[in-house]
Structure 1
Amino acid sequence: MGMTEYALTDGKGINLIPKELPAEAILSVIALPGITSYHGLFEVLKPEAGQTIAITAAAGSVGSLVGQMAKNLGLTVVGVAGSEEKCQWLKDELGFDHALNYKDADFAEQLTQATPKGIDLFFENTGGAAQTPIFERMNAHGRIAVCGLIAEYQKEVPDLGSSWLNIIKKRLTIQGFTMPDHFHRIPEYGQVLGGMLMKGELKYRAHVIQGLESAPSGLNLLFDGKNKGKLIVEL
């Protein structure tokens, strides 16, 4: 419905939400972040226990859920974020195996040490500095889900991407996806995510700002990487 205080609807496309769950939990887990995470992980990457997955923007609303679900399946999870505080949260609170700061000068070296057997799956949320080092660590027949490229959205000229040679040499599968194609599956995904949430299998944190007038400045938090978890404008 966009950024609005009031909306008129006949109910089409509107879903009832469980009364026993707080609004922040629904917006952070069962709404768009959750269904995006679930679809990208299970329908695009098709994970298997024992694999290694790398996730960019891992402390964000989508990446943090992808990592937790992957960890619950028995994967080795490597989260990439842009601050030490975010990396600490990923390891201490969410149980990621590794959490790396892409701003570190030796990020590529840290990534190599964290993935001695290479990377099987890559959930790409950002583009930018972390992309090429992760791409170069991909194993043969690896899969990459391209969910977002927020580091590129405001640039007049996009950064040069990785060489496509490894797509051939390593027989990689790379698939972009966007959730409007899959909105018909929201009830299905929501039910599964709600079950995970009720069982305590998924943790989240919300970054709440107050008032509709705060929305423009709040949006900039996403581009600056300063939000912590799901960004919510509370009216």
Structure 2
Amino acid sequence: MPDIRRSIILRRRPTGEPRREDFQIVEEPVPEPGPGEVLTRTIWLSIDPYMRGRMSDRKSYAEPVAIGGVMTGETVGEVLASNDPGFSPGDVVVGSRGWQTHSISRAGALARIERPGAPLGAYLGVLGMPGTTAYSGMKDIGQPKAGETVVVSAASGGVGSVAGQLAKRAGARVVGIAGGADKCVWVQETLGFDDCVDHRVGNLDLALADACPNGIDVYFENVGGAVQEAVFARLNPFARVVMCGMIAQYNEAEFPPGPNLGFVVAKRVRIEGMIVSDKPERFAEWRALAAPWVADGSLRHRETIVDGLDAAPEALRQVLRGGNFGKMLVRVGREPAGA
């Protein structure tokens, strides 16, 4: 058993983009699990845009991380000790346990990952929260149909890449929006999108008009800002907008004024926000559906991997800047033999 646990806590609430000084690394003895609890060591840590919101004390759908509290995050880990009959040492589990090398969790907050199977990191990306978010957003709100035009922002990211592939499976024409030529090439050539617009180059309005000559029926929103404004101008009557994320404004102290929504009435547009945890049943549903697609290669995904718990703060900065390509993961510990 290890002696020391390392954790990254929130030292202060950031102003604008998070900085390393907003975090602090603490070391303490590894705790022992109590009744119904499980001790795990972290193998993979997921880094996601929502974490920036948890660093602020602005009222939201979830409680913020307390000053001095461990930063929140989903992880894959190995069970070291268990005081619950549902888990045994050596089990590999996924759950929300935070930026730590070792964690104590209630057994009910963990899900066992059956081995052998997909790579462990996939359970934090394409088979985890991002993939489930894309699935729930498309299934419950977007509902793409054959012949429709679907636009996905942040199309090369962990959520957008899956959302677009699901729309393609439904028979829609799918246009991605991404930042950079390399991302747009990957979105088209690897993910199979019909087109991809680089929002960093040229006139976004004209590029979208060219990519979506018949307007837009479904928009999967991950970005906000100028990208949202350009897409909203091309929405068709009865379009559906999945409001999943607004990463363009996460570092802002005050949210910018919203668009004029008069068109929503005239065009009878449905705009609905979503938080994937509102429908927890979607997680197991998605894993069962998607695991065979990942295994046969028909559901494509990509990861950006950095090493060591200390790299987590900079990894979050990169995600908020769009510096990641696909799902951002921190490799915190070694994988078990045969995993």
Does the alignment pair 1:17 with 2:113?
Answer: yes
| Residue number in structure 2 paired with 1:6 | 102
Provide the secondary structure at the position in 1 that maps to 2:293: helix
Structure 1 pair 129–65 and aligned structure 2 pair: CA distance change class (3 A): same
Is residue 97 of structure 1 aligned with residue 205 of structure 2? no
Higher helix residue share? 1
Structure 1 vs Structure 2 CA RMSD: 1.2
> Which of 76, 79, 89 is the matching residue for 2:173?
76
Q: Which has the higher contact order (CA 8 A, sep 6+)?
A: 1
For 1:17, give the aligned amino acid: I
Q: Deviations over 1:112-171 (max 9, x none)?
A: 011111000000001011111100100000000000001011112333322111101111
Comparing both structures, which one devotes a greater share of its residues to strand? 2
Distance 1:63 1:119 in 2: 16
Per the TM alignment, residue 104 of structure 1 is displaced from its structure 2 partner at its CA by 1.9
**Cα distance in 2 between the residues matched to 1:166 and 1:150:** 24
Shift of 1:181: 1.0
Counterpart for residue 298 of structure 2: 201
Q: Which runs of 5+ in 2 are unaligned?
A: 1-96, 333-339
Task: Tell me, yes or no, if the aligned pair for 1:127 and 1:149 is still in contact at 8 Å.
Answer: yes
Percent identical across equivalent pairs?
A: 34
Determine if the alignment matches structure 1 residue 230 to structure 2 residue 327: yes
Amino acid at match of 1:16: R
Distance 2:105 2:203 in 1: 52
Q: Which residue of 2 aligns with 1:51?
A: 148
Q: Contact conserved, 1:205 with 1:228, CA < 8 A, in 2?
A: yes
Larger radius of gyration: 2
TM-score by length of 1: 0.96
Aligned equivalent of 1:179, options 276, 280, 283:
276
State the shift of 1:10 in Å: 4.0
Q: Which residue type is aligned with residue 12 of structure 1? A: G
**1:152 partnered with 2:277:** no
Structure 1 counterpart SS, 2:125: helix
CA distance in 2, matches of 1:118, 1:32: 30
Query: Quick one: which of 259, 264, 275 aligns to 1:162?
Result: 259
Residues paired across the two proteins, number:
235
